[in-house]
């Protein structure tokens, strides 16, 4: 099936998400760089984000992060807490304030009041490949939808190709996400991203919109 073919492609391997036995990843530094971590937390607080700082995490497999947070609002409430590296949480906050809210006002005349995601930190490799997913270091989050102030829900899976204001909103914010994150993967990128935006702050650079 097409999915199996895609899983083999190098392009798809950049982003998709399934557990695998992998070679050891780069070591995670266990000691936070206090100034950077502190500045990042101050940035989050200053943006109105709700979060708690986490102790460094380093799993036996090699996943983890030195400077992580559990974030619950960016400042839009998240549907569930997200564990992310602090810079990724800060990027998500910028995405909310500088990209999502202006686009929601432009396209709907309403604010987004909730952001739905299906995962930040997860100890896993990239689908079908030997590389670690940026999720394994807390550098990635998969966003699936947005609730507007009037209760309307916009979802990547249903609305990306549906046309009208919801589709224009999603395409606009995907473009804007590329200014905030280093890797942005959307339904336009491959079959593995038909229902979510993969937003990451890892070392790659790819605007898959």
Positions that interact with Zn ion (CB under 5 A): 140, 142, 198
Question: CB-wise, 163 or 203, nearer to Zn ion?
Answer: 203
CB of 126 to Zn ion, least distance (A): 9
What is the rounded CA–CA span in Å between residue 75 and residue 196? 20
Asked if 55 contacts 30 with a C-beta cutoff of 8 angstroms, the reply is: no
Question: CB-wise, 176 or 202, nearer to Zn ion?
Answer: 202
Asked if 160 contacts 175 with a C-beta cutoff of 8 angstroms, the reply is: no
CB of 17 to Zn ion, least distance (A): 5
CB of 75 to Zn ion, least distance (A): 23
CB of 71 to Zn ion, least distance (A): 16
Which residue minimizes CB distance to Zn ion? 198
How many C-beta neighbours within 10 Å does residue 44 have?
A: 23
What is the rounded CA–CA span in Å between residue 90 and residue 109? 25
- Name the β-bridge partners of 70: 52, 83
What is the rounded CA–CA span in Å between residue 69 and residue 62? 18
What is the rounded CA–CA span in Å between residue 45 and residue 99? 19
Question: CB-wise, 168 or 191, nearer to Zn ion?
Answer: 191
Question: CB-wise, 112 or 201, nearer to Zn ion?
Answer: 201
What is the rounded CA–CA span in Å between residue 106 and residue 100? 10
CB of 35 to Zn ion, least distance (A): 29
Pairing of strands 57-58, 64-65: antiparallel
Question: CB-wise, 142 or 159, nearer to Zn ion?
Answer: 142
CB of 135 to Zn ion, least distance (A): 6
Question: CB-wise, 76 or 127, nearer to Zn ion?
Answer: 127
Name the nearest CA neighbour of 98 among 173, 46, 42, 153: 173
């Amino acid at each position: 099936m097409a999915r199996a073919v895609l899983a083999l492609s190098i392009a798809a391997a950049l982003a998709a998400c399934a557990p695998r036995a992998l070679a050891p990843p780069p070591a995670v530094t266990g000691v936070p760089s206090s100034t950077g971590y502190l500045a990042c937390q101050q940035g989050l607080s200053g943006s109105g984000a709700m979060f708690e700082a986490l102790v460094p995490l380093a799993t036996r497999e090699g996943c983890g992060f030195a400077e992580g947070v559990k974030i619950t609002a960016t400042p839009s409430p998240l549907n569930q807490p997200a564990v992310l590296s602090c810079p990724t949480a800060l990027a998500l906050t910028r995405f909310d304030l500088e990209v999502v809210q202006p686009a929601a006002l432009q396209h709907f005349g309403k604010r987004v009041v909730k952001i739905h995601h299906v995962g930040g930190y997860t100890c896993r490799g990239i689908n079908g490949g030997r590389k670690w997913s940026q999720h394994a270091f807390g550098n990635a989050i998969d966003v699936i939808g947005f609730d507007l102030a009037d209760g309307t829900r916009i979802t990547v899976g249903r609305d990306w190709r549906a046309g009208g204001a919801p589709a224009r909103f999603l395409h606009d914010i995907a473009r804007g996400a590329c200014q905030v994150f280093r890797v942005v993967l959307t339904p336009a990128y491959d079959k593995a991203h038909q229902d979510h935006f993969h937003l990451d702050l890892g070392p790659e650079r790819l605007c898959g919109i």
